[in-house]
Amino acid sequence: MSKTWFITGTAAGLGRLLTERLLARHDRVVATVRRPGSLDDLTERYGSRLRVISLDLTDTAAIKTVVAEAFNALGRIDRIVSNAGYGLFGAAEELTDAQIDRQIATNLTGSIHLIRAVLPYLRRQGGGRIVQLSSEGGQIAYPDFSLYHATKWGIEGFVESVAQEVAAFNIDFVLVEPGPTETNFGAGLDVAEPLACYGPTVAGEFRRALLTGSFDIKGDADRTVDAMLQVLDQPQPPLRLPLGSAAYDHITQALTQRLALASQQKKLAYSADKE
């Protein structure tokens, strides 16, 4: 049975591939883009099954308007995919105030407002699924991505809380956590001006590895989308979905280390309770 999807950030990358896959299997898609015309080829091919709307996630008022327009036009939307976002790259000290504000407004605040905007509609229609594109960077951290990680760790905490609040309304969530994947993510990076003092540090080493192309990227975008759909089509998907061997290995290693560290602190932690 075909479904109707609302997907942000569909001009390129995983959002574009997901939109193509869904249309090819005869689902309907409301696709948001920042640049009008980005999906003209798909509109010509699929006609009324694709509805394209311009949206910048930093415009909170526009999010509510676009969501209302989509639900009013289509009646029911089964799946919401919060995919729009980008990476801000540079040591924390190198970033400008404007870069920080835009990163948070797009990746974190924008995603929060999108989820809040769709909840009343999903609740009234009796349920639905919200898919939040996160990253392995929602559970681990690289140098030079501090603000990107702040947004991904932040949205994961938000989703984990909201998922508990709305479960009674038959609304569920999936946090998709891809590892480094061959998409246009690198081309869309907002790169801070480097400070010479960070050159010989781990931040400088990582900057050189990433910007020269020597950083190992194992993930395949097409296979990532195929794996996403396998899970998103399940009646009861997991809350978190790591994708790619790098994401799986990095996340499990980080969780194991955190658990071991927490276990060492058990006696001290318990000592802080009231007697």
pLDDT tens digits for range 207-220: 999 888 877 888 89
The neighbouring-strand residues paired with 31 are: 7, 52
CA 35/CA 87 separation, integer angstroms = 18
pLDDT-based confidence at 80, cuts 50/70/90? very high
148 among known catalytic residues: yes
Q: pLDDT-derived band of residue 79, with 50, 70 and 90 as boundaries?
A: very high
Task: Give the model's pLDDT for residue 35.
Answer: 87
**CA 37 to chain CA mean position, Å:** 23
Q: Is residue 123 over pLDDT 80?
A: yes
For residues 105 and 183, which has the higher predicted lDDT (pLDDT)? Answer: 105
| Residue 152 annotated in active site | yes
Instruction: Answer yes or no: 266 catalytic.
Output: no
pLDDT for 273 equals 97
At 77, list the tokens: 């939307």
Give the 3-state secondary structure of residue 235.
coil
* Model confidence pLDDT, tens digit, residues 205-263: 999 998 888 778 888 999 999 999 999 999 999 999 999 999 999 999 999 999 999 99
| Residues 7, 111: Cα–Cα separation, whole Å | 12
Residue with the two structure tokens 């009674």: 168
| Distance of alpha carbon 110 from alpha carbon 104, whole angstroms | 8
Distance (Å, whole) CA 54 – CA 30: 11
Q: Under 8 Å CB-to-CB from 242, ≥6 apart: which residues?
A: 136, 177, 178, 179, 248, 251
Which residue intervals of the chain are DSSP H helices? 13-24, 40-46, 60-74, 97-103, 110-124, 146-166, 202-211, 221-232, 245-264, 266-270
In this model, does residue 200 exceed pLDDT 90?
Answer: yes
Distances (CA, A) of 112 to 26, 69, 107, 172: 29, 19, 9, 15
**Catalytic residue, candidates 82, 134, 135, 146:** 134
| pLDDT band with cut points at 50, 70 and 90 for residue 143 | very high
H/E run at residue 29: strand 28-33
The whole-angstrom separation of Cα 85 and Cα 90 is 17
**Which one of 3, 135, 152, 198 is the catalytic residue?**
152
**Token digits for 164?**
């508990």
What whole-number distance in Å separates Cα of residue 210 and Cα of residue 139? 20
For residue 13, what pLDDT is reported?
94
Give the domain ranges of the chain: 4-246
**pLDDT for res 60:** 94
Nearest to 252, CA basis, from 263, 264, 240: 240
CATH class, domain 4-246, is alpha beta
Phi, psi of 156, rounded to the nearest 5 degrees: -65, -40
Using DSSP, state whether 100 is helix, strand or coil.
Answer: helix
Residue 262: beta bridge partners? none
Q: Is the per-residue pLDDT at 158 higher than 90?
A: yes
Averaged pLDDT of the chain: 95
The band of 180, judged by pLDDT with boundaries at 50, 70 and 90, is confident
